[in-house]
Amino acid sequence: MKNKKSFAPQEAEARPSRCPDNSAFKQQRLPAWKPQLTIATVLSTFFLTGAFCLSVGICLILSANSVREIQINYSDKCSDCSKLRENSYNWNIECLCSVDFKLKEDMLGDVFMYYGLQNFYQNHRRYVISRSDAQLLGRDVNVQRSYCAPFTTYNNGTPMAPCGAIANSMFNDTIDLFYNFNSSVIQVPLLKTGNSWWTDKNVKFRNPQSHNLSSAFAGTARPPYWQKPVYLLDEEDERNNGYINDDFIIWMRVSAFATFRNLYRRISRKRHFADGLPAGNYTFHISYNFPVTKFKGKKYVILSTMVWSGGSNPFLGIAYVVCGAAATLTGAETEVRVLTGVLP
């Protein structure tokens, strides 16, 4: 019988007891909760959810309605300039264009100025990857190894700074806003910095280190579609020049859809405009550089105020209202069924 002992598992000697622990976890006795769907809970859930959704939806709609927004398609209005830009040989001919519009009521609070593009596929895969983040971080990198092609280097080997299709196609119209006040024209003061995200400005974009900016970009060339090199994007403000130029940063943040708007300027609330834009006649003075007709695109300039829930997007509010209404109706339907005795 002595070999019978060796049949007993080895663990028996190692562990005195092979009995499993009597813990709640191991015995699967952890407390659990399974909601009981009774009439009271279900009905109250429906009505509470309905009430919540309806109130949020109404708030959203009201606040979205309080947003003042004006949108002007200036690629149509400046049709001459559009025509001119269709031919790329005219790239260095300046084209100015004025667009008048009238504000019927005041735009109070912070006013934001956007440019909008339609049918511009910033979300195309090859477009999205066509950039070198390392280069934009001010590093000396070989852009050949990035996805920037074909906007990496010129034929003579000079690398483009910044490289890639995104940077190359940067929106380069300049838009100024003038207020026609009592037959005098006042330029609306616009803020061109502080429009980008903090992380972009301080983390993701950095200029190459050098004693001045132009030497930092020595040995590189501007992208082919650009009129001036990157270190001349903003000659007045050292902290808004080169890669950390706000306009550039904003452009580099590609949009998810082919129709989009990017923040261009904010109205500086000074003097006449301390409360926002007063009602009256205004003029946009646009230096028209960015061609869009070639790909059947359109350009807009948009002035808008903001509320807590964002811009003038009524969708979320409507969705909340619909959803709340549905919940309430279902609750009511159930209630009726209960009362009439269809349900127990």
Partner 1 sequence: MFCAPYARPSSTRLLSALDPSGPQLPSNCIKTSKYNIVTFLPVNLFEQFQEVANTYFLFLLILQLIPQISSLSWFTTIVPLVLVLTITAVKDATDDYRCCWLPCDAAPLSLCSLRQEQWMNVRVGDIIKLENNQFVAADLLLLSSSEPHGLCYIETAELDGETNMKVRQAIPVTSELGDTSKLALFDGEVICEPPNNKLDKFGGTLYWKENKYPLSNQNMLLRGCVLRNTEWCFGLVIFAGGLGRPATRPDQIQADEHRPIFGFLVCMGVILAIGNAIWEHEVGVCFQIYLPWDEGVHSAFFSGFLSFWSYIIILNTVVPISLYVSVEVIRLGHSYFINWDKKMYCAKRRTPAEARTTTLNEELGQVEYIFSDKTGTLTQNIMVFSKCSVNGHSYGDVQDVLGHKAELGEVRPVDFSFNPLADPRFQFWDPSLLEAVKLGDPHVHEFFRLLSLCHTVMSEEKSEGELFYKAQSPDEGALVTAARNFGFVFRSRTPKTITVHELGRAITYQLLAILDFNNIRKRMSVIVRSPEGKIRLYCKGADTILLERLHPTNQDLTNVTTDHLNEYAGEGLRTLVLAYKDLEESYYEDWSERLHRASGAPEAREDRLARLYDEVEHDMMLLGATAIEDKLQQGVPETIAILTLANIKIWVLTGDKQETAVNIGYSCKMLTDDMTEVFVITGHTVLEVREELRKAREKMMDASRSMGNGFSYQEKLSSTKLTSVLEAIAGEYALVINGHSLAHALEADMEVEFLETACACKAVICCRVTPLQKAQVVELVKKYKKAVTLAIGDGANDVSMIKTAHIGVGISGQEGIQAVLASDYSFSQFKFLQRLLLVHGRWSYLRMCKFLCYFFYKNFAFTMVHFWFGFFCGFSAQIGLDTGFWTAINHFFIWGSLAAYFAILFAMHSDGLFQMFPNQFRFVGNAQNTLAQPTVWLTIALTTVVCVMPVVAFRFLKLDLKPELSDTKQKTQHRCMRRVGRVGSRRSGYAFSHQEGFGELIMSGKNMRLSSLALSGFAARPSASWIETLRKKKGGEGSTACSPSGAADKTLKV
Residues 222-251, interacting with partner 1 (CB under 8 A): none
Does residue 291 touch partner 1 according to CB under 8 A? yes
Among the listed residues 13, 14, 22, 339, the single contact to partner 1 using CB under 8 A: 22
Decide whether 154 or 197 has the Cβ nearer to partner 1.
197
Among the listed residues 101, 147, 178, 300, the single contact to partner 1 using CB under 8 A: 147
Does residue 47 touch partner 1 according to CB under 8 A? no
Tell me if 71 sits within 8 A of 116, measured CB to CB.
yes
Does residue 154 touch partner 1 according to CB under 8 A? no
Tell me if 249 sits within 8 A of 200, measured CB to CB.
yes
Min separation Cβ 49 and partner 1, Å: 6
> Please, where are the H alpha helices in the chain?
2-5, 11-14, 39-65, 74-77, 79-86, 125-128, 133-136, 165-168, 198-199, 213-216, 246-252, 315-340
Decide whether 191 or 316 has the Cβ nearer to partner 1.
316
Q: Which stretch binds partner 1 (CB under 8 A): 12-20, 69-77, 89-97, 214-222?
A: 12-20
Among the listed residues 91, 154, 181, 197, the single contact to partner 1 using CB under 8 A: 197
Q: Alpha-carbon distance 109 to 178, whole Å?
A: 18
> 266 to 285, contacts with partner 1 by CB under 8 A?
none
Does residue 326 touch partner 1 according to CB under 8 A? yes
Report the SS3 class of residue 23. coil
Q: Alpha-carbon distance 202 to 134, whole Å?
A: 14
Closest by CA to 200, choosing from 255, 230, 244, is 244
What are 99's strand-pairing partners? 284
Closest by CA to 289, choosing from 127, 169, 119, is 169
Does residue 193 touch partner 1 according to CB under 8 A? no
Does residue 134 touch partner 1 according to CB under 8 A? yes
Min separation Cβ 101 and partner 1, Å: 28
What is the token pair recorded at 344?
Answer: 């127990």
Decide whether 42 or 191 has the Cβ nearer to partner 1.
42
Strands (E), the chain: 69-73, 96-103, 107-108, 111-118, 174-181, 184-187, 190-191, 260-267, 276-277, 280-287, 298-305
Does residue 340 touch partner 1 according to CB under 8 A? no
| Count of residues engaged in binding partner 1, rule: CB under 8 A | 75
> 159 to 178, contacts with partner 1 by CB under 8 A?
165, 168-169
Binding mask 301-320 toward partner 1 (x if CB under 8 A, else -) reads -------xxx--x--x--xx
